[in-house]
Amino acid sequence: MSAALSRDATLLAFDYGEKRIGVAIGNLLTRTARALVIVPNLNREHRFKAVGELIAEWKPDALVVGLPLHPDGAPHEMTQRALRFGNQLNGRFNLPVSWVDERYSSVEARAGLRARGDAANRVDAEAARVILQQFLDGLPDQHEFN
């Protein structure tokens, strides 16, 4: 299923990890993203309760999930977990999901945090911001979500 979004659509992005999930928010009109929060990935119930609260608060039109890959582009053990997480988001919240290759997003996030003197414990949310910004920067004028 594809969905055309309005020019001012709000997006939530996720950097899925086994222990933490970084979350960022962005807007199609401004084409900007900002780090939002880090959700502890304690268990399925906690994970989706926290994400549901964020969705209720920010009312996104679509979601973006980082897809972890090896440097050569091959999938690894976290690839399938991130795919499952994104598919569960789509099923639970009935929002379209797009995927972004997240290779080196955490490296870029750490470098950006160091350069600004920000706390290193925000790296997961900053990685989600990097993922969402890459997504926004790569969009044509009209993008369809799956």
Q: Any idea what the CATH number is for the domain that residue 127 is in?
A: 3.30.420.140
pTM for this structure?
A: 0.84
Residue 146 lies in a domain: no
Q: What is the DSSP letter of 28?
A: T
Residue 83 lies in a domain: yes
Residue 3 lies in a domain: no
pLDDT in tens, the chain (146 residues): 346 788 889 999 999 999 999 999 999 989 999 999 999 999 999 999 999 999 999 999 999 999 988 888 888 888 999 999 999 999 999 999 999 988 665 655 556 655 565 555 677 898 999 999 999 988 876 555 54
The H or E element containing residue 10 is strand 10-16
| Cα 85 to Cα 14: distance, rounded to the nearest angstrom | 10
Residue 144 lies in a domain: no
Residue 51 lies in a domain: yes
Residue 145 lies in a domain: no
Instruction: Give me the domain span that covers residue 130.
Output: 8-138
Query: How many structural domains are present in the chain?
Result: 1
Residue 2 lies in a domain: no
Three-state secondary structure readout of 33-83: EEEEEEEECCCHHHHHHHHHHHHHHHCCCEEEEEECECCCCCECHHHHHHH
